[in-house]
């Protein structure tokens, strides 16, 4: 049965600010304090406009409303629900159709539901994605041809470019699929060309809407690295089968544990240097990038996962600690890229992670297992010194 909610319009007698509140006061009575100037608020109406009636109607279907205050662009409800996780999921779908995005936070023994007017999602310009894809394919080909160990050979450079683009694409496609399954609007991947020895700085997607739940946060964080890693394993194995241990070949300063395990499986030992194939080198690069992406910091993929399993305060503390630790590692091992990653973590992720819209409900068992799988992959990508 739908709740009968008494609604009154209040107006500040001083600054004329107005809002709607849950109250049974009569028109003309004065009470409350203005949130803008602390002046007295006077009841000037006893009817809810349609937009507010619709918000109240939808919210009361899933939550027992105890109080609210609302203006045109924002409404805050206090209430309870027997199954807040399921109730919020239903409310999220209902309010999104109305042009609002809700968030849920703990508020004492109750819950606070904040409904914000959705500004709308701007359509992506797909030609930019296509142009960046073509540019990155070119720069990775040029990097393979001029800078990498198999350089000077067109076929090998094309194979490296195709492989690295495939692995980066699989990673971002995982994010896109997870976003679609959770009703989050995202762009298609933006590949990033770069005048570097690899020819790219990776790829990203633009998440255009807040992530609704802790479960969705884990899915969207884990899907990319897991899909990319799953593809990197067979490609690296095939590439190592065609690689040749050679003391005069490429000597990797370090390698992910998974790469070392594959070397042991192919060669029976870990060679100090190799005539490495483009496939194996692309797999090595993908594993190193997976390591960075799964670090439990900021808005990295691993940061999304770790934020889903802990509070915002703990997550921010881990982000800062990890960033400083990696930055200081450069004092002892300057050749390692870890200090650069520490710099990026500290100066790119300076603000705490916003968390999911539903920051109250706990992770489901299946998503906890997915987070554990991601942790295993992270450990498999940790570097093993080879020199």
pLDDT tens for the 387 residues of the chain, in order: 556 889 999 999 999 999 999 999 999 998 878 888 988 999 999 999 999 999 999 999 999 999 999 987 899 999 999 999 999 999 999 999 999 999 999 988 899 999 999 877 788 889 999 999 999 999 999 999 998 887 789 999 999 999 999 999 999 999 999 999 998 999 999 999 998 888 998 999 999 999 999 999 999 999 999 999 999 999 999 999 999 999 988 888 888 999 999 999 999 999 989 999 999 999 999 999 999 999 999 999 999 999 999 999 999 999 999 999 888 877 676 566 677 888 888 888 888 998 999 999 999 999 999 999 999 999 999 988 765
Cα angle for residues 121, 126, 131 (degrees, 5° grid): 140
3-state SS assignment for residue 169? helix
> Based on the domain organization, do 303 and 370 belong to the same domain?
yes
| pLDDT score at 334 | 57
| pLDDT score at 124 | 81
| pLDDT score at 122 | 82
> Based on the domain organization, do 100 and 160 belong to the same domain?
no
Buried b (16+ CB within 10 A) or exposed e, 265-295: ebeeebbebbebbbbbbbbbbbbbbbbbbbb
Of the residues 58, 92, 117, the one at which a domain ends: 117
Residue 302 lies in a domain: yes
> Based on the domain organization, do 322 and 207 belong to the same domain?
yes
> Based on the domain organization, do 27 and 95 belong to the same domain?
yes
Residue 2 lies in a domain: no
* φ, ψ (nearest 5 deg) of residue 255: -150, 145
Of the residues 93, 117, 141, the one at which a domain ends: 117
Give the C-alpha separation, 327 to 320, whole Å.
11
| pLDDT score at 348 | 85
- Domain assignment of residue 106, given as a range: 7-117
Kindly state the helix (H) or strand (E) to which residue 158 belongs, with its residue range: helix 154-181
Q: How many residues are recorded in the chain?
A: 387
Of the residues 61, 83, 117, the one at which a domain ends: 117
Residue 1 lies in a domain: no
> Based on the domain organization, do 113 and 175 belong to the same domain?
no
Q: Looking at residue 73, what DSSP letter applies?
A: T
> Based on the domain organization, do 105 and 198 belong to the same domain?
no
> Based on the domain organization, do 194 and 282 belong to the same domain?
yes
Nearest to 277, CA basis, from 250, 243, 251: 243
Give the chain's largest Cα–Cα span. 90
Domain count, the chain: 2
Give the C-alpha separation, 209 to 212, whole Å.
9
> Based on the domain organization, do 224 and 107 belong to the same domain?
no
> Based on the domain organization, do 44 and 151 belong to the same domain?
no
């Amino acid at each position: 049965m739908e709740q009968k909610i008494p609604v009154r319009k209040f107006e500040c007698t001083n600054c004329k600010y107005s809002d709607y509140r849950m109250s049974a006061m009569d028109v003309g009575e004065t009470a409350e304090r203005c949130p803008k100037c602390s002046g007295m608020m006077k009841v000037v109406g006893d009817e809810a406009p349609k937009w507010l009636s619709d918000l109240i109607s939808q919210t009361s279907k899933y939550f027992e409303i105890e109080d609210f205050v609302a203006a045109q662009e924002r409404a805050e409800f206090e209430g309870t629900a027997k199954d807040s996780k399921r109730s919020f999921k239903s409310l999220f779908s209902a309010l999104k159709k109305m042009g609002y995005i809700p968030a849920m936070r703990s508020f004492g023994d109750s819950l606070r539901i904040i409904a914000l007017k959705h500004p709308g999602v701007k359509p992506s310009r797909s030609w930019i994605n296509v142009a960046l894809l073509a540019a990155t394919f070119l720069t990775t080909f040029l990097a393979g041809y001029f800078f990498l160990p198999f350089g000077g050979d067109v076929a090998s450079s094309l194979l490296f470019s195709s492989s690295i683009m495939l692995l980066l694409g699989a990673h971002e496609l995982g994010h896109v699929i997870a976003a679609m399954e959770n009703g989050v609007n995202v762009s298609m991947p933006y590949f990033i060309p770069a005048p570097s020895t690899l020819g790219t700085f990776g790829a990203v997607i633009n998440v255009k809407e807040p992530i609704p739940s802790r479960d969705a946060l884990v899915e969207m964080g884990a899907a990319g690295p897991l899909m990319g890693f799953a593809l990197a394993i067979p490609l690296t194995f095939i590439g190592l089968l065609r690689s040749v241990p050679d003391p005069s070949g490429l000597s990797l300063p370090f390698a992910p544990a998974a790469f070392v395990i594959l070397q042991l499986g192919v060669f029976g030992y870990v060679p100090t240097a190799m005539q490495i194939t483009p496939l194996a080198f692309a797999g090595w690069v993908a594993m190193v990038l997976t390591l960075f992406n799964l670090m439990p910091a900021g808005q990295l993929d691993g940061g999304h996962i770790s934020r889903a399993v802990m509070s915002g305060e703990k997550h921010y503390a881990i982000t800062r600690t990890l960033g400083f630790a990696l930055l200081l590692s450069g004092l002892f091992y300057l050749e390692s890229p870890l200090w650069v990653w520490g710099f990026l973590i500290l100066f790119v992720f300076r603000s705490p992670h916003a968390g999911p819209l539903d920051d109250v409900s706990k992770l489901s068992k299946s998503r906890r297992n997915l987070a554990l799988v991601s942790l295993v992959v992270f450990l498999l990508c940790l570097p093993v010194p080879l020199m």
